[in-house]
Every structure is written in C-alpha cells, then in structure tokens.
Amino acid sequence: MHKTFISYHHDNEQKYKEDIIKDFGEENFIDKSVGDGEIDTDLDESKIMEIIRTDYLQDSTVTLVLVGSETAERPFVNSEIQASLRDTKKNKHNGLLAVVIDEIYDLIYTTTKCSCGCDVRKKSAFYDIYLPDLVKKNNQKSASLCHYDDSEVYCTVIKYSDFIIDPEKHINSTFDKRDDSKIEIFKTLNKETPKISN
C-alpha cells in the first residue's frame, strides 16, 4: 500500500482514523497532523504550505480525507489538503481520496436515472456543505456530461463502509492518478475557505 496521510477533524472522526490504522497497519499511514499553535498563522501561506508538506506529510504519496459533518470548515484540514497537492523539489503532489462517513455520504448523494437509462449518483444540496473546497474542485467534470466515473476526476469520493472493505485498492487507484496527465488538478483554495493562514 502507498504511504498515506490521513487528514480529519479530530473531535469527530478520531475513531474512524484509529480503526483504519489498527486494521490496515500503522506502517502504511502517517499518523501526524497539524494541531492548534503548531504553526505560526502570521507566516505567509506559501511558508505554511511548505511546513505542512515537509514536517507533516513527509514521504506520503496519497492524502485520505475523512469527511464528516464539520470537516469542510476545519482550517487545518483545508490547509493539509492544499499542502498535499503542492509539487516540491522532494515530492510531487499527492493523490487525493475523500472517504465520507456513511450518514454524510447518504446526505450528499442521491441515486437517479440518467437520460441514457443508467442509475447514477446525483449531488444533493448537502454536497457543497459537507465536502471540503479542494475535494469538490477535484471531483468535478464538465457540466455537459450526463454522468462520469470517479476514475475521470482527480479526487474519488467514496463511502466509508465501501472503502473499508478494500482500502488498498482505493489507495492504489488514487496513487495512480498522480501521473494521469488527462486529469486536471485544482490546487488552490477559495479565498473564503477556512485555512491556517490569515
């Protein structure tokens, strides 16, 4: 399995993170995340991204974002995602995978029939509320398409109960997208997105 950094809201998703590490091996995951007061918020954004990438993400090649009810509003999570998508001299950008807690996943997607007759998942109004900014940006395709597959976008969004059946498969396919030049990668947060820097 590729070395994976887990970004999550500690108060709400700690148990899910611990279960993943316990069940699938501490050696496969970087169990370190940015905490309050660890980074000077007066530094410019570029320096903050460099510190996160060097000191926290280290040698990871995939970033797994555990998405719960408050994840999108967590400054540390948003900054960790942005830092993981940076290219540096030592590391290229990470693959990006959003693993959504089941009850939240069932709020953000509904199932509908496409004009071509197949069943597709449709984004609900909760999609914009619960998914972090860079997860949303990297999980979109042209509006002219009636539907698309997660293999066609940089960030796969998957239900936790589906992910936990075979995490290695999902992490490996996320890693493989790093070299797919046909997939666009969005690397910059919107100005209004909560983040570490002022």
Residue 146 pLDDT: 56
Amino acid type, 136: K
**Burial status of residue 107 (CB atoms within 10 A of its CB: 0-12, 13-18, 19 or more):** middle
Q: How far apart are CA 11 and CA 26, in angstroms?
A: 21
Q: Which helix (H) or strand (E) holds 123?
A: strand 119-123
Residue 145 pLDDT: 55
Residue 25 pLDDT: 84
Nearest partner of 1 among 34, 32, 33, 23, judged by Cα:
23
Q: How far apart are CA 123 and CA 100, in angstroms?
A: 14
Residue 8 pLDDT: 95
The ranges of the chain with pLDDT < 50 are none
* Entry pTM: 0.93
